[in-house]
């Protein structure tokens, strides 16, 4: 989850290239702050470590997520966010269809409530609302603002799973949160 939120940094570099928008130095600075925060959250970079492999997968996901957001930004003025989510979900369903051959149907049916909630609440509703913000803000701004999600994950982990964060986790979280606050103030003044 934490390495996925390097996508604001990736977005800050990709958005000017793909959407021909102006590169804002402040976005690069804030993206760097997020990246530094994520480093503090998981400072061990050993390729034999499963956490490091998870970070690499998160970085690949972050690149894909940034690219997806930029592509959808180009379409959001023409189509509703819900329409774009239907297309995206249908595409993902087709791409993930082969996974059904490797998963037991009893596993899926045994967890249908959680899968349904995950699909409807966080994916369909959450991402549709997320896409609607693209009409009002740059993708980089939206990306940096959403970087607060790892902080929520840490708080939920502490409250419900009794996972008490280390000092480095708190430092990383503070860096991420400060970049989110700076971008929130900047974007509200820009209106």
pLDDT at 120: 82
20 φψ region: left (φ > 0), alpha (ψ -120 to 50), beta (else) = left
Nearest Cα to 187, choosing from 81, 30, 69, 11? 30
pLDDT at residue number 8: 77
Distance CA 33, CA 12 (A): 12
CB distance 4 to 42 below 8 Å: no
Query: In this predicted structure, what is the pLDDT of residue 43?
Result: 65
Cβ 92 vs Cβ 50: under 8 Å: no
Cα(110)–Cα(114) distance, integer angstroms: 9
Residue 137 burial by CB count (10 A; 0-12/13-18/19+): exposed, middle or buried? Answer: middle
Q: What CA–CA distance (Å, rounded) separates 175 from 154?
A: 14
Average pLDDT per run of 10 along the chain, which is 191 residues long? 76 82 81 81 73 82 88 82 82 87 78 82 78 77 76 85 84 81 70 49
Instruction: Give counts: helices (H), strands (E), the chain.
Output: 10, 0
């Amino acid at each position: 989850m934490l390495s996925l939120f390097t996508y604001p940094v990736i977005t800050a570099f990709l958005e000017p290239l793909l959407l021909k928008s102006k590169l804002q130095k402040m976005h690069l600075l804030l993206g760097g702050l997020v990246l530094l925060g994520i480093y503090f959250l998981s400072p061990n970079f050993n390729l034999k470590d499963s956490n490091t492999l998870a970070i690499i997968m998160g970085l690949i996901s972050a690149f894909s997520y940034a690219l997806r957001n930029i592509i959808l930004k180009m379409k959001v003025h023409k189509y509703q966010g819900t329409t774009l989510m239907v297309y995206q979900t249908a595409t993902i369903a087709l791409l993930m269809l082969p996974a059904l051959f490797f998963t037991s149907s009893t596993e899926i049916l045994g967890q249908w409530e959680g899968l349904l909630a995950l699909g409807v609440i966080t994916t369909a509703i959450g991402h549709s609302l997320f896409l609607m913000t693209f009409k009002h803000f740059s993708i980089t701004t939206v990306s940096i603002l959403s970087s607060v999600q790892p902080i929520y994950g840490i708080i939920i982990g502490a409250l419900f799973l009794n996972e008490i964060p280390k000092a480095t986790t708190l430092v990383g979280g503070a860096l991420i949160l400060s970049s989110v606050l700076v971008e929130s103030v900047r974007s509200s003044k820009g209106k």
